[in-house]
Amino acid sequence: MTALSDAARAPSTPDVAVRPESTVADSARQDADVIVVGAGPAGSSAAYWLATAGLHVLLLEKTSFPREKVCGDGLTPRGTRALIDMGIDVSQEAGWLHNRGLRVIGGGQRLHLDWPELTSFPNYGLVRPRADLDALLANQAVKAGAVLHEQTTVTEPILDRAGRVAGVRARGGGRRTEDSGSMEYRAPLVLTCEGVSGKLAQHLGVHRNDKRPLGVAVRRYYTSPKTHDDYLESWLELWDGKPNESALLPGYGWIFGMGDGTVNAGLGVLSTSSGFQKTDYRAMLTTWLDNTPEEWGLREQTATGPTRGAALPMGFNRTPHYVRGLLLVGDSGGSVNPFNGEGIPYAMESGRFAAEAVVQALARPAGSARELALQAYPRRMQQEWGAYYRLGAAFVKLIGKPAVMQACTRHGLPHPALMRFVLKLLANLTDPRDGDVSDRIINVLTRITPAVR
């Protein structure tokens, strides 16, 4: 057990009912009912919901907490809801910075868009460094009863004679087998929440679909007077000098105040852009920020660390989401929203969907009945986001062209009502039944669009 796990099981931890013997009958050695690989938002969410249902869960994480991850650190109300559902205290007293909405900058315009008032989502977003967020989520999973092993790098799946996943092999500590020097963990089901690499999925022949959208994001922290901000700030146009006197750069940018004296400034570029994988993204970020106002302090001398980057796997670019005892969750299954590059809420929600399917499956005997229950997970993913992500793929193709993005910005931003509609669409924030006209339009568009396959 790690230090994080021990802290989570301190006397302040709520009482948890004594777990009965394993719910799965298996003649082979079994270390858990379920193994979850990766303790990011997807893995910790899945482990939390599985453990809450009374299953014995092993949560394997290759690093240790707290750990740094590349992220914008800003959450829309969708992410806020997912945290609340897990029982996380998201109050400002607990260290969260709340935001009212999105400030959109482009085409010489500056527009403030408040998050919509909905029955399905809260009306505020959040900001918190990923180093804090991921540790909080892992801690919550441990409090629910999951067993966390840090510094445990999973290397490959263990397959039974039928070719089904029956566990994983890993390095980093714990029990070692005599022949390989690696650890083995056994369970009838494994959730891969490893992120964009999807190594376990690749072992089973499930590879990324290059026709689906992919993004690259880079970010850096700076000390700045913009640290306290009621809005997330999104830049739809990036210039390498003064607007209209210089070249328009590919991609979009953000500046999110962290509330601690720093800001998170970054940019993203889509695979549909001609500049994708042909651009020095770190240099591009510096070029853009060097042309922001001097008083903002977004310069080399105020940077608190290096520029870091990561890939954004979008629009279900790795499927199927279930195969032979392995469930693909979060970024492993390409669940990032193509419209806005947001991944955390979809990782957490997919973790919950996977957990619900697993709980039902393990209540059935191994065989066809269990498999039928497991198929509910990929179906749920398609039902929730398949059509929406297909719409997003079309959107990505359009905005991947700087001229199209510029035209949309210049003609769209002067119309606040239109932009409020766009905000709901891009952030996937609608009420399914009781919403207004814009909700109904978005819901109809989603229903008539064929789902991603």
CATH number for 43? 3.50.50.60
Q: Could you tell me the residue range of the domain that residue 368 belongs to?
A: 3-68+131-209+315-387
pLDDT at 14: 33
**Residues 165-221 pLDDT 10s:** 999 999 985 555 444 568 899 999 999 999 988 899 999 999 989 888 888 899 999
Identify the CA nearest to 352 among candidates 36, 34, 46: 46
Domain membership flag for residue 76: no
Integer angstrom CA distances of residue 166 from 58, 162, 255, 364: 13, 10, 44, 17
Q: Percent of the chain scored above 90 by pLDDT? A: 62
Say if residues 42 and 332 touch (Cβ distance below 8 Å).
Answer: yes
Is residue 9 over pLDDT 50?
Answer: no
Average pLDDT value for residue range 272-283: 77
41-52 vs 344-362: helix crossing angle, rounded to 10: 30
Average pLDDT value for residue range 381-393: 92
Is residue 13 over pLDDT 50?
Answer: no
Q: Read off the amino acid at residue 323.
A: V
Q: What is the tally of structural domains in the chain?
A: 1
pLDDT at 70: 86
Choose between 411 and 26: higher pLDDT: 411
Burial call 328-347: b when 16+ CB within 10 Å, e when fewer = bbbbbbbbbbbbbbbbbbbb
Is residue 17 over pLDDT 70?
Answer: no
Domain membership flag for residue 330: yes
Q: What is the rounded distance in angstroms from the CA atom of residue 354 to the CA atom of residue 357?
A: 5
Is residue 23 over pLDDT 70?
Answer: no
Is residue 342 over pLDDT 60?
Answer: yes
Domain membership flag for residue 418: no
Where does the pLDDT of residue 240 fall: very low under 50, low under 70, confident under 90, or very high at 90 and above?
low
Peptide bond preceding 320 in cis form (omega within 30 of 0)? yes
Domain membership flag for residue 376: yes
Strands 308-313 and 214-223, bridge-based pairing:
antiparallel
Is residue 35 over pLDDT 90?
Answer: yes
Domain membership flag for residue 356: yes
Domain membership flag for residue 200: yes
pLDDT at 144: 97
pTM over 0.75: yes
Domain membership flag for residue 299: no
